[in-house]
Amino acid sequence: MQDESCAPFHMFITMLALLATGSLLLGGDVSEIPRIEDEGGRYRSYGREQDPFALMKQAGWNWVRFRIWNEPKDGYCDKEATLRLAKRAHAQGLRISLDFHYSDWWADPGKQNKPAAWKDLPFDGLEKAVYDYTKEVVGAMIAQGTRPYMVQVGNEVIGGMLWPDGKVSSNEPEGWKRFGRLLKSGLKAVRDAQGEGPKIHTMIHIDRGGENNASVWFFDHLAKQGVEFDAIGQSYYPFWHGSLSDLRENLNDLARRYRKDVYVVETAYPWKWDEHPGPHVYNGGKLLDGFPATPEGQAAFVAELKKILREVPGGRGKGLLYWAPTWITTPKDHSDYENLATFDENGNALPAFRTLGERRL
């Protein structure tokens, strides 16, 4: 077990990285790396194979996110797997964000399924489970010397979480009250777990990057519940969530309106058309003008997002996480996300991987 004796050194390295990238936190959600490696996938820069976290550091990344599933059937993305990944990220001086789904599988706007172990709990028991599990995971991260910088309580929770108990719709007040209580339970667990060390920032994450009306509707209702958190996270996929101008206007308004820092914590853009598309590959026609589906177009998209974040009023635009940049094709499986990753079909880093960190490998 590690302690936090090396924390000052890693904090110094992180601060240098932040200065080098205009004070933005930059990186990606790289939770799938263990699966890729177990299937024989490897990561390279200009043909040279390296540990993916070392490549991130070399590219100037300073931040990664890991999703947490309670008891996934395949064992990936649970507490133990996340602790192992966190050690690898911490060794490279990367800040860590945890994304609690409070589910055994994907939680998103279309589904927020309870973990199987929680499905029969009464509501008070569900609140306690959220508190206990959150505190347990965050505490384990701290104990092994990989203190998280940010914790998301829920993933893309525009419709609430832990359905049906915490589901929200329209202006129905009881659903919002229950949802607020669940969020408060998770947020309190983070505060209680952090102890005397550096503050662990908290985030509420929705998927309405270019939709201001929906974003204001959600955060106004949340404010009525007295939910206290530090930052607003948005997903922004341009083929679903509006134009770059829509994103800019929304982030600027949210920062001013709620006086909170704003982040884009999920995004992606194609670098090619995929001849073997899976459920997550985007081959549609809603690409942005001036951003073709090429390696250069993908990198230009990332650069534009960084520019938008830097121009948020009051310096409130704080960071960018690319979603699944390392989800590559392996000898065992064609990646459902290949044409949106930031590595090519041979595992070589694309320009967007470097643009995320603004440092040439």
Active site residues: 156, 266
Using alpha carbons, list the distances in angstroms from residue 259 to 212, 314, 325. Answer: 15, 9, 30
The angle at the Cα of 299, spanning 294 to 304, to the nearest 5 degrees, equals 125
Distance of CA 309 to the CA centre of its chain: 16
Q: Which residues pair with 321 in a beta bridge?
A: 27
Q: Phi/psi class of residue 69: alpha, beta or left (left: φ > 0; alpha: ψ in -120 to 50)?
A: beta
Rounded CA gap, 60 and 86, in Å? 18
- Give me the residue label for tokens 């199987």: 116
Nearest to 324 by CA among 26, 97, 56, 29: 29
DSSP summary character for residue 345: T
The separation between the first and the last C-alpha atoms of the chain, rounded to the nearest angstrom, is 32
Distance of CA 82 to the CA centre of its chain: 14
Residues 60 and 21 sit within 8 Å (Cβ to Cβ): yes
Residues 121 and 69 sit within 8 Å (Cβ to Cβ): no
Element (H, E) at 131: helix 123-143
Helix 212-224 to helix 244-258 angle, to the nearest 10 degrees? Answer: 20
Nearest to 323 by CA among 186, 200, 209: 209
One-letter amino acid at 350 equals L
